[in-house]
């Protein structure tokens, strides 16, 4: 028997299978999709079996060393999906398969996560005589409880337990337990409104078709109830479901609601789980023990069988795109491929759909479902724009007079406040008032952010950190000052302004520990805090009935990013965070502080006018030739050698302009952040409507430079940001 094995090394030079002979002793264990250990050059590697045959075109084949798994890791669907990703994203096949799996199941040496086993004790039928007092105590403990954990019996006497086991008086039973608990009390489901039921019926009418539905529902319109009803209908038909959410902070609230509806028939997949928990959840899914998977982006790869629907909540969120490493996939593209493979619908939901999704619904490629009212009958919150240009003349600091008064009024009614500032840390950068020195990362072309709680300057790109020195390293004067605004600094101001009110901060720095999202959300839900201050992670999906005021500290943070989506990002963020106000029975209010009060993204957000924003932004995109009117591809060329990166970027630019005749080639130019971790980065952007020669040209480019270890070429199709 010969097997074709894809080894674990992600390198274009070996992006293919290698033939190995299977020893007779291992032939019965070989299956397509399992991991095996093989000799490769002068090392031992793991890899996946992709084909089995009786012969090979090559001579002198080596034998596989061992079989790693008893069960198939990559089923037929995931194997085909990996090949699709490889061909459309131009990355290595092994990187596609690795992206699908928890670390414990990746083809990678050194990761050894086993099953968690609990050992139980029961009494045998063997009569017991001549026992000690402690042994009698152990026997009575087991007899009283019927079946006990061995570790609990050991608390009485470890030696007595050993003796009773040796003499056959006690029987030892081992049982696998999962690390993540899913117990929950079931609660009665809500009755759907006519609009919600109509949405469910439309989706269910396409249960065996690969249709895409876009639910455009205002914040508070009950989209989650629709999702749960669709999933319940699929369960009744014996089908499974995947539900994607964009933020880990959102996962906790949604999982809680789903558990109350579906109890333990749920698996969870996201990055904050321990590796052991991910391993358990993945195996529960693969073994068919659950029918519902909830998770972040990578949950779209869940090895469910007989899928009935994939739901992508808050579909506009850029976290659904993997852009930091290969493969640079979008969860929506993966969902649509699986939908086509398995013939089932995909449901997208958002109060602010991407321009691309809404344009597809206008063309009839997606089925549009509109929900324009909140289920509680409340109007959308009143939104007020505060011109900070005028406030700055009053030297009012971070908080306008209107926002302070509104907060005081909210507190007087015993209600809560959410404040958004989409920038963490204490200040954006450190500068010297004497000589103008600005502290920058020594590894990256970016200023360092000051974190006061740890008195450190930190790079949010490479992680470099150093202690703040009050003396300027340039002129040696004690003239260092902090400029810019971060959540840490706003928290300090709030504690001074409202000393009798409790503030809780939710950003990357306060949620780095496991379970921290859930603790913060639950504490605020229980009104242990009066103010929730956070970055964009608090803007989507969270539901706090007692929040009646939302304040946006600086609406211009995302507006000032040099990116063609900055207006869309700003509009989405403002609409989403505004939707956290007035979700219960009380009327809501929103204050947006901005230095650009006339900007269309802000004025349309004030009026909750998605269609108005959509039409204006689409007009701009058409004029400038951006998505959704043109496809975009970003090519980044990077190297530790500046001159080599520059010269090769210029050569690639010439090559692309020569071979892509239907494409606008922009660049090469330096990337927005020119240097990261001492690597210099250049960028070329391709804009095209149809380019038949695109994939061949880019493939040839990759092949030409794949042996040059000094240069890295990164290709990102349909990038979220440029």
Residue range 118-128, pLDDT digits in tens: 999 999 988 88
Q: What is the pLDDT of residue 213?
A: 98
d(CA 638, CA 631): 23
Q: What is the pLDDT of residue 390?
A: 87
Helix/strand/coil for 465: strand
pLDDT in tens, 358-391: 999 999 999 999 999 998 778 899 999 999 988 8
Where do we find the tokens 């011109």? Answer: 387
Given a contact cutoff of 8 angstroms between Cβ atoms, the answer to whether 680 and 645 are in contact is: yes
pTM of the prediction? 0.90
pLDDT in tens, 255-269: 888 888 888 789 999
What distances in angstroms separate CA 49 from CA 18, 67, 217, 409, 490, one per listed residue? 10, 10, 45, 66, 54
Q: What is the pLDDT of residue 110?
A: 47
Given a contact cutoff of 8 angstroms between Cβ atoms, the answer to whether 19 and 59 are in contact is: no
What strands, in cross-sheet order, belong to the sheet with 679-688? Answer: 664-676, 679-688, 631-639, 712-717
307-313 and 240-244 strand pairing: parallel
Given a contact cutoff of 8 angstroms between Cβ atoms, the answer to whether 259 and 208 are in contact is: no
Contacts of 658 (CB under 8 A, 6+ apart): none
Contacts of 129 (CB under 8 A, 6+ apart): none
What distances in angstroms separate CA 248 from CA 101, 273, 423, 600, one per listed residue? 18, 10, 18, 31
d(CA 635, CA 714): 6
Given a contact cutoff of 8 angstroms between Cβ atoms, the answer to whether 540 and 246 are in contact is: yes
- Please name every residue paired with 309 in a beta bridge, in sequence order, or none if there are none: 241
pLDDT in tens, 540-599: 878 899 999 999 999 998 888 888 999 999 999 999 999 999 888 899 999 999 999 999
Confidence of residue 112 (pLDDT cuts 50, 70, 90): low
Confidence of residue 437 (pLDDT cuts 50, 70, 90): confident
d(CA 132, CA 138): 10
- Please name every residue paired with 174 in a beta bridge, in sequence order, or none if there are none: 119
Is the pLDDT assigned to residue 247 strictly greater than 90? no
Confidence of residue 253 (pLDDT cuts 50, 70, 90): confident
What distances in angstroms separate CA 233 from CA 147, 187, 645, one per listed residue? 39, 17, 55
Confidence of residue 250 (pLDDT cuts 50, 70, 90): low
Across 131-145, 179-193, 428-442, which has the greatest mean pLDDT? 131-145
d(CA 615, CA 611): 6
Would you give the DSSP letter of residue 537? G
Confidence of residue 430 (pLDDT cuts 50, 70, 90): confident
Averaged pLDDT of the chain = 91
Give me the helices (H) in 156-307, please.
158-166, 194-204, 223-236, 248-262, 275-286
Is the pLDDT assigned to residue 342 strictly greater than 90? yes
212-217 and 367-371 strand pairing: parallel
Q: What is the pLDDT of residue 188?
A: 67
Is the pLDDT assigned to residue 713 strictly greater than 80? yes
Confidence of residue 106 (pLDDT cuts 50, 70, 90): confident
Task: Provide the percentage of residues in the chain whose pLDDT is more than 90.
Answer: 70
Given a contact cutoff of 8 angstroms between Cβ atoms, the answer to whether 359 and 618 are in contact is: yes
Q: Where are any strands of DSSP class E within 359-433?
A: 367-371, 382-387, 416-420, 429-432
**Number of Cβ within a 10 Å radius of residue 59:** 5
Q: What is the pLDDT of residue 183?
A: 65
pLDDT in tens, 31-72: 999 999 999 988 999 999 999 999 999 999 999 999 998 889
pLDDT in tens, 626-635: 999 999 999 9
Q: What is the pLDDT of residue 47?
A: 95
679-688 and 664-676 strand pairing: antiparallel
Which burial class, exposed, middle or buried, applies to 31 when counting CB atoms under 10 A from its CB (0-12, 13-18, 19+)? Answer: middle
Q: Kindly state the average pLDDT of the residues 188-214.
A: 93
Is the pLDDT assigned to residue 171 strictly greater than 90? yes
Listed range (204-213, 536-545, 668-677) with the worst mean pLDDT: 536-545
What distances in angstroms separate CA 325 from CA 81, 101, 246, 322, 480, one per listed residue? 18, 15, 18, 7, 37
Would you give the DSSP letter of residue 453? T
Is the pLDDT assigned to residue 105 strictly greater than 90? no
**Number of Cβ within a 10 Å radius of residue 661:** 9
Integer-rounded Cα radius of gyration of the chain: 29
Nearest to 253 by CA among 653, 668, 610, 537: 537
- Please name every residue paired with 680 in a beta bridge, in sequence order, or none if there are none: 639, 675
Which burial class, exposed, middle or buried, applies to 272 when counting CB atoms under 10 A from its CB (0-12, 13-18, 19+)? Answer: buried
Where do we find the tokens 């010297």? Answer: 432
Task: Provide the percentage of residues in the chain whose pLDDT is more than 70.
Answer: 97
3-state secondary structure 412-446: HCCCEEEEECCCCCCECEEEECCCCCECECCCCCC
Helix/strand/coil for 163: helix
Would you give the DSSP letter of residue 654? H
Helix/strand/coil for 113: coil
Residues in the chain: 722
Where do we find the tokens 């470890």? Answer: 158
Is the pLDDT assigned to residue 97 strictly greater than 80? yes
Is the pLDDT assigned to residue 512 strictly greater than 90? no
Q: Kindly state the average pLDDT of the residues 488-502.
A: 93
d(CA 442, CA 677): 8
pLDDT in tens, 598-622: 999 999 999 999 999 999 999 999 9
Contacts of 445 (CB under 8 A, 6+ apart): 673, 674, 675, 676
d(CA 371, CA 304): 30
């Amino acid at each position: 028997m010969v097997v074709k094995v894809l080894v674990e090394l992600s390198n274009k030079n070996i992006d293919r299978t290698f033939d190995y002979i299977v020893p007779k002793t291992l032939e019965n264990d070989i299956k397509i999709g399992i991991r095996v250990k093989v000799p490769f050059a002068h090392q031992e590697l793991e890899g996946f079996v992709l084909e089995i045959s009786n012969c090979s075109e090559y001579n002198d084949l080596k034998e596989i060393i061992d079989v790693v798994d008893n069960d198939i890791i990559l089923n037929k669907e995931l194997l085909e999906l990996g090949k699709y990703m490889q061909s459309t994203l131009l990355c290595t096949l092994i990187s596609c398969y690795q992206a699908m799996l928890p670390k414990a199941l990746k083809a990678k040496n050194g990761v050894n996560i086993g099953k968690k086993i609990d050992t139980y004790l029961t009494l045998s039928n063997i009569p017991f005589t001549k026992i000690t007092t402690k042994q009698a105590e152990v026997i009575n403990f087991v007899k009283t409880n019927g079946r006990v954990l061995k570790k609990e019996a050991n608390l009485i006497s470890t030696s007595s337990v050993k003796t009773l086991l040796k003499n056959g008086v006690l029987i030892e039973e081992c049982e696998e337990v999962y690390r993540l608990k899913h117990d929950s009390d079931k609660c009665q489901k809500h009755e759907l409104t006519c609009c919600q039921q109509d949405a469910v019926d439309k989706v269910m009418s396409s249960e065996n078709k690969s249709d895409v539905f876009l639910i455009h529902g205002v914040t508070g319109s009950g989209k989650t109830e629709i999702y749960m009803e669709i999933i319940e209908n699929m369960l009744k038909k014996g089908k499974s479901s995947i539900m994607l959410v964009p933020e880990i902070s959102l996962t906790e609230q949604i999982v809680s609601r789903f558990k109350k509806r579906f109890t333990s028939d749920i698996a969870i997949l996201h990055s904050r789980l321990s590796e052991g928990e991910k391993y358990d959840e993945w195996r529960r899914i693969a073994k068919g023990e659950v029918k519902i998977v909830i998770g972040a982006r990578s949950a779209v790869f869940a090895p469910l069988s007989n899928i009935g629907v994939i739901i992508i909540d808050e579909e506009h969120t850029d976290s659904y795109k993997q852009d930091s490493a290969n493969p640079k996939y979008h969860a929506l593209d993966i969902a649509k491929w699986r939908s086509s493979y398995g013939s089932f619908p995909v449901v997208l939901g958002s109060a602010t759909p991407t321009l691309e999704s809404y344009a597809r619904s206008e063309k009839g490629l997606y089925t549009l479902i509109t929900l324009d009212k909140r289920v509680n009958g409340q109007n959308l919150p009143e939104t007020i724009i505060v011109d900070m240009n005028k406030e700055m003349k009053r030297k009012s600091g971070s908080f306008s007079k209107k926002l302070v008064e509104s907060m005081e009024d909210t507190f007087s009614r015993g209600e809560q406040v959410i404040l958004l500032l989409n920038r963490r840390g204490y200040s954006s950068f450190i500068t010297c008032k004497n000589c103008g020195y600005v502290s920058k990362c020594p590894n990256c072309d970016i200023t360092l952010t000051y974190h006061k709680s740890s008195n450190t300057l930190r790079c949010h790109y490479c992680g470099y950190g150093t202690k703040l020195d009050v003396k300027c390293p340039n002129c040696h004067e004690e003239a260092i000052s902090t400029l810019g605004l971060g959540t840490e600094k706003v928290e300090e101001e709030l504690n001074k302004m409202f000393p009798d009110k409790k503030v809780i901060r939710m950003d990357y720095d306060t949620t780095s520990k496991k379970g921290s999202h859930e603790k913060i959300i639950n504490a605020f839900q229980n009104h242990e805090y009066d103010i929730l201050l956070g970055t964009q992670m608090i803007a989507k999906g969270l539901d706090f009935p007692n929040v009646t005021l939302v304040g946006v500290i600086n609406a211009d943070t995302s507006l000032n990013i040099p990116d063609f989506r900055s207006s869309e990002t700003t509009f989405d963020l403002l609409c989403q965070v505004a939707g956290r106000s007035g979700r219960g029975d009380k009327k809501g209010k929103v204050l947006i502080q901005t230095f650009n009060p006339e900007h269309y993204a802000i004025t349309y957000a004030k009026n909750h006018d998605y269609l108005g924003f959509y039409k204006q932004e689409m007009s701009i995109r058409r004029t400038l030739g951006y998505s959704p009117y043109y496809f975009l591809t970003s090519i980044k060329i990077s190297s530790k050698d500046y001159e080599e990166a520059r010269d090769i970027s210029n050569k690639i630019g010439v090559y692309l302009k020569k071979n892509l005749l239907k494409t606008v080639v922009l660049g090469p130019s330096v990337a927005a952040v020119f240097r990261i971790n001492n690597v210099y980065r250049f960028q070329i952007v391709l804009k095209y409507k149809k380019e038949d020669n695109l994939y061949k040209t880019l493939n040839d480019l990759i092949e030409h430079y794949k042996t040059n270890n000094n240069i890295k070429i990164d290709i990102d199709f349909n990038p979220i940001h440029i």
